[in-house]
Amino acid sequence: MKFKDNRYSKMLYRRCGKSGIQLPVISLGLWHNFGDVDDEKIYRKTLHTAFDNGIIHFDLANNYGTPPGSAECNFGKVLHKDFRHYRDEMIISSKAGYYMWPGPFGDWGSKKYLVSSLDQSLGRMKLDYVDVFYHHRPDPNTPLEETMATLDLIVRQGKALYVGISNYPPQEAAIAINMLKALGTPCFIHQPRYSMFDRWVEGGLLDLLGKEGIGSVAFSPLAQGLLTDKYLKGIPKNSRASKKHGFLKKEAITPEKVEQVKKLNKLAAARNQSLAQMALAWVLKDVRITSVLVGASSPEQLLDAIKSIDNLHFEQQELMAIEEILIQGE
């Protein structure tokens, strides 16, 4: 498979904290749309479209896809078929932290779970190493020392080049960051949820990451599709909210939310952007955000997302208008 020679010319790259790595501002997440229940032709083309447009960062986890694990298997298949000569151009991440297999060692943050899970992920993707391995969520019962020492071990074993944490609130993140620093394997990245509809990171996490020089990649920046024009006229067939295995529940699409989305959609149109583009640009306006992690159920959606980088600038007036709409929903 041959990809476009000019594939790096269209994308913007931001340095991930103080590390040596630059990530594309748009990254592709494989949580939904890449499982055994999904259409191989479409997801294969989505992966080609990503790479052809400079999106070289692919985010996975042990439990992604329906059934869990199938996204890694399917990604591995496409990788070995179409991207065989391009591994060194790619950042591939995986995670462990949620339920994966029965018994006390198939979930959370023990050394036993993390080591076995990463071995399974590498087996599913048929890789020797991932570029980034994350602890997916804090574990209230395993000592943080054990979880962080395992991340350090995994890097020393060569199974991951960098490590990160996801969904860690600021206080726990600060402790984890210090532990990793002391172990000699600095925390590379934090992966929090962040969108116009979920702004918890503004309450201290981004300040911490900025101060420590740690990158961040924002997940669900489109609130799983809510921050697009998709649900303006009901719930379309084939949308995430219409699927049994979709994580976005119909109940989340309330008339109040749709009203807010309609107003945001108008503002986006005034900027000559789709709502998806404006929502991504809004997250990326903070340079402490290294990248936004979008999900895409088609190559067209990804192309739409990429166009957001044509206008990442917001006038003060536009920001105030967005703020007013968002406050109405609180």
Ligand X SMILES: NC(=O)c1ccc[n+]([C@@H]2O[C@H](COP(=O)([O-])OP(=O)(O)OC[C@H]3O[C@@H](n4cnc5c(N)ncnc54)[C@H](OP(=O)(O)O)[C@@H]3O)[C@@H](O)[C@H]2O)c1
CB-CB contact of 26 with 294 (8 Å) = yes
Nearer to ligand X (CB atom), residue 69 or residue 221: 221
Nearer to ligand X (CB atom), residue 64 or residue 315: 64
Where in 233-262 is the site for ligand X (CB under 6 A)?
239-240
- Confirm or reject binding of residue 138 to ligand X (CB under 6 A): no
Among 30, 55, 189, 281, binds ligand X (CB under 6 A): 30
Among 201, 223, 268, 284, binds ligand X (CB under 6 A): 223
Question: Residue 182, Cβ neighbours under 10 Å: how many?
Answer: 10
Among 92, 160, 294, 309, binds ligand X (CB under 6 A): 294
Nearer to ligand X (CB atom), residue 124 or residue 136: 136
Size of the site for ligand X (CB under 6 A): 30
Q: Mask: binding to ligand X, 170-209, rule CB under 6 A, as x and -?
A: ---------------------x------------------
Closest CA to 53 of 78, 71, 26: 26
Question: Residue 246, Cβ neighbours under 10 Å: how many?
Answer: 17
- Residue 92's DSSP bridge partners are 58
HSE of 188, CA atoms in CB hemisphere, 13 A: 22
CB-CB contact of 26 with 292 (8 Å) = yes
- Nearest-approach distance from CB 317 to ligand X, in angstroms: 25
- Confirm or reject binding of residue 308 to ligand X (CB under 6 A): no
Among 31, 51, 188, 282, binds ligand X (CB under 6 A): 31
Structure token pair of residue 99: 């339920």
Spatial distance between the Cα atoms of 2 and 8, rounded to a whole number of angstroms: 14
Segment contacting ligand X by CB under 6 A, of 12-20, 120-128, 202-210, 290-298: 290-298
CB-CB contact of 62 with 100 (8 Å) = yes
Nearer to ligand X (CB atom), residue 131 or residue 316: 131
Spatial distance between the Cα atoms of 141 and 80, rounded to a whole number of angstroms: 38
Q: Is 144 exposed, middle or buried (0-12, 13-18, 19+ CB in 10 A)?
A: middle
Footprint on this chain of ligand X (rule: CB under 6 A)? 29-33, 59, 136, 166-167, 191, 219-225, 228, 230, 239-240, 276, 293-297, 301, 304-305
